[in-house]
């Protein structure tokens, strides 16, 4: 019988702090990349470079035999994740880092709602109130009618939705395939899905662009590794609140390095959304269910 990893909340929290630094570093590198490289091409090159990390498992991939249903799940997840990645890269060229980070907190809330629709989860009053609170958080960030909304705001709403669908499909896959194969299939299918978008609007990347893209791939891979360590060491209800630090770091890096104005409404909205997501995660743990994804689990 396999042995479980001993739970250590402090170690889990420490790993989640490192995870946050990795994902914020990835976001900063995307911001540095800017809009010279189109969003579809930038996302494609990031995933193409990331395929290097699959080399150690190529034998397992070659020996894998999937059913038609499993191929369908892999293709479906690759398609929705591709759309989410492109929208995320686009939003990063249009919005401050803090707004992207805050709106990304909606992903777990979307997952909880989709679980009700597609997995038959019961929609209790507490979950309804938490979702309404998250919606209020989004309205606080967007403030429609009080400022002009950018295409990046709508892109981030779409990003969170597509990543939520991707997570639910991953849950189905994880019941049939090893976790490493689920990740590998995502990397391959997203690379294939992004290729046509990249070719249609190709801009030759220079050496600096490639360095930044390699950095994005490294930060994303390291972030997923440390996130896995965090959730092996402590429950999601312990580690999820730590993701609030990502918003603080995003505000700081955006202000210092990219001269982005600090928007306290964005910070307030992010706190509201994160609080709602954390409450839902706590309720899931009380009910002994595993529907809620960890923060950033569906990203890259």
Helix 97-104 / helix 106-118 crossing angle, nearest 10 deg? 30
Residue 239 — pLDDT band, cuts 50, 70, 90? confident
pLDDT at 208: 94
- Boundaries of domain holding 72: 9-286
Q: How far is CA 20 from the centre of its chain?
A: 12
pLDDT at 110: 84
pLDDT at 88: 92
Answer yes or no: is 4 within a domain. Answer: no
Does the pLDDT value for residue 203 go beyond 90? yes
Domain count along the chain: 1
Cβ atoms of 140 and 276 within 8 Å: the answer is no
Cβ atoms of 101 and 25 within 8 Å: the answer is no
Sequence-distant contacts of 279-286: CB under 8 A, at least 24 apart: 279/126, 279/130, 279/133, 280/108, 280/109, 280/112, 280/127, 280/130, 280/131, 281/108, 281/236, 281/237, 281/240, 282/237, 283/124, 283/126, 283/127, 283/130, 284/112, 285/235, 285/236, 285/237
Of 292 and 44, which is predicted with more confidence? 44
Cα(10)–Cα(126) distance, integer angstroms: 29
Answer yes or no: is 190 within a domain. Answer: yes
Cβ atoms of 297 and 227 within 8 Å: the answer is yes
- What percent of the chain lies above the pLDDT cut of 90? 35
- Give the pLDDT mean for 249-272: 91
- Give the pLDDT mean for 35-51: 90
pLDDT at 295: 54
Residue 77 — pLDDT band, cuts 50, 70, 90? very high
278 Cβ contact list (under 8 Å, min separation 6): 237, 240, 241
Does the pLDDT value for residue 174 go beyond 50? yes
Cβ atoms of 25 and 251 within 8 Å: the answer is no
Residue 22 — pLDDT band, cuts 50, 70, 90? very high
Answer yes or no: is 292 within a domain. Answer: no
36-40, 169-173, 179-183, 281-285: range with highest mean pLDDT:
36-40
Answer yes or no: is 297 within a domain. Answer: no
Does the pLDDT value for residue 1 go beyond 50? no
pLDDT in tens, 274-286: 888 888 777 766 6
Show the DSSP H helices in the chain as ranges: 9-33, 39-50, 58-63, 68-94, 97-104, 106-118, 125-142, 151-174, 179-200, 207-233, 236-239, 244-257, 264-286
Q: How far is CA 167 from the centre of its chain?
A: 9
The neighbouring-strand residues paired with 144 are: 147
Answer yes or no: is 70 within a domain. Answer: yes
Average pLDDT, the chain: 84
- 52 DSSP 8-state letter: G
Does the pLDDT value for residue 84 go beyond 80? yes
* Single pTM value for the model: 0.83
Sign of CA dihedral 231, 234, 157, 284: positive
Cα(200)–Cα(209) distance, integer angstroms: 19
Show the DSSP H helices in 34-105 as ranges: 39-50, 58-63, 68-94, 97-104
Cα(150)–Cα(140) distance, integer angstroms: 15
Answer yes or no: is 53 within a domain. Answer: yes
Does the pLDDT value for residue 228 go beyond 90? no
- Of the listed ranges 19-33, 125-139, 171-185, the least confidently predicted one is 171-185
Answer yes or no: is 293 within a domain. Answer: no
Residue 2 — pLDDT band, cuts 50, 70, 90? very low
Answer yes or no: is 113 within a domain. Answer: yes
């Amino acid at each position: 019988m396999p042995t479980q990893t001993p739970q250590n909340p402090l170690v889990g929290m420490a790993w989640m702090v490192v995870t946050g630094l990795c994902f914020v570093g990835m976001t900063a590198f995307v911001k540095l990349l800017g809009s010279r490289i189109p969003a579809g091409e930038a996302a494609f090159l990031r995933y193409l470079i990331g395929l290097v990390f699959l080399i150690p498992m190529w034998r397992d991939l070659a020996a894998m035999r999937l059913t038609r249903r499993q191929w369908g799940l892999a293709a479906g997840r690759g398609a929705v994740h591709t759309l989410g990645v492109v929208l995320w890269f686009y939003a990063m060229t249009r919005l401050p880092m803090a707004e992207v980070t805050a709106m990304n907190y909606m992903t777990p809330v979307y997952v909880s709602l989709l679980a009700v629709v597609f997995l038959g989860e019961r929609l209790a009053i507490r979950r309804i109130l938490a979702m309404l609170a998250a919606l209020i958080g989004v309205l606080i960030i967007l403030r429609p009618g009080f400022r002009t909304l950018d295409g990046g705001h709508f892109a981030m709403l779409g990003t969170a939705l597509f990543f939520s669908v991707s997570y639910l499909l991953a849950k189905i896959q994880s019941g049939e395939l090893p976790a490493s194969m689920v990740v590998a299939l995502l990397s391959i299918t997203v690379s294939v899905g992004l290729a046509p978008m990249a070719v249609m609007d190709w801009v030759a990347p220079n050496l600096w662009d490639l360095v930044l893209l390699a950095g994005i791939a490294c930060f994303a891979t390291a972030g997923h590794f440390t996130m896995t360590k965090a959730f092996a060491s402590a429950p999601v209800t312990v580690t999820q609140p730590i993701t609030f630090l990502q918003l603080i770091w995003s505000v700081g890096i955006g202000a210092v390095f990219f001269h982005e104005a600090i928007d306290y409404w964005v910070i307030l909205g992010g706190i509201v959304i994160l609080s709602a997501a954390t409450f839902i995660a706590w309720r899931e743990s009380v009910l002994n269910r595993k529907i809620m994804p960890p923060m950033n689990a569906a990203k890259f």
